[in-house]
Amino acid sequence: MSNAQIRSEPVVETLPTGTVDMKLEVVVLPVSDVDRAKRFYGSLGWRLDIDFVAGDDFRVIQFTPPGSGCSIIFGKNVTATAPGSAQGLHLVVSDIEVTRNELLRRGVEISGLFHEAGGVFHHGDGEGRLSGPNPQRRSYASYASFSDPDGNGWLLQEVTARLTGDAEAGDSRFTNELVAAVRRMITPAGTNLRRGARRLQLHLRRNELDEGTARLRGRPGQSPVLGPDRGEVPLAERSFRG
């Protein structure tokens, strides 16, 4: 990772908070044989939430993995994408070896464990992939892959600790490359971005004060009231999800 450039996209992360929650709820999978897919996902031990049929042209099946806040939906006439085209779907687990062995016991064809030489996520083309789990079993760093009968691709990813924005360099729970990537969002450029966001918040607050003062003096305000200062998300609450 030493020669890789870490890009920073500041706009979304540094604007004042206060937007509504948007939680990923459902991933729609394209399948060619609905009943075959239903048998497969049922064999994983996932919860069947619904199997809805309306006539001959519409069917919706929903499964939810154990402990997940997000479900999958497949069926008939629920997506126009090609069967098997959903790839890179991640299932986060606390013990990847135990989970892999459980899937093997259930008859699932699953790859051996692997990790990424670069230490941050993994290459979709397999470049930099090394056999076996991360030697130190660092969080986010060990994977295994499997597919459903149509070829929709899943990955197990072992996460034993969540990396937050206040992580210190050398934290042994994570790869050095991953910590460096997150800290890069904080210093030095990230510090300037946060200062810029704070200046924006102070500007908005000053507009509010100007408006209030103008009203007390009986004059219409010259600056629009753009909203309250809601503050920034504390670094300890910013969690890496990859």
Per-residue pLDDT, 170: 86
pLDDT of residue 207: 60
pLDDT tens column, 83-119? 999 999 999 999 999 999 999 999 999 999 999 888 8
Query: Residue 173 has which token pair?
Result: 């729970």
Angstrom CA distances, 131 to 127, 144, 169, stand at 12, 10, 26
Q: Go through the domains of the chain in sequence order and give each one's CATH number.
A: 84-184 (3.10.180)
Positions in the chain short of pLDDT 50: 1-13, 15, 190, 219-233, 238-240
Average pLDDT, the chain: 80
Return the pLDDT at 103: 98
pLDDT computed for residue 135 by the predictor: 94
- Amino acid in the structure at residue 7: R
| pTM (global) more than 0.75 | no
Q: Which pLDDT value is given to residue 204?
A: 63
Helix then strand count (H, E) for the chain reads 5, 9
Burial 63-100, CB ≥16 within 10 A → b, else e? bbbeeeeebbbbbbebbeeebbebeeeebbbeebeebb
Q: Residue 240 CB: number of other CB atoms within 10 A?
A: 19
Asked if 164 contacts 237 with a C-beta cutoff of 8 angstroms, the reply is yes
Give the pLDDT score at 218.
Answer: 53
End-to-end CA distance of the chain: 16
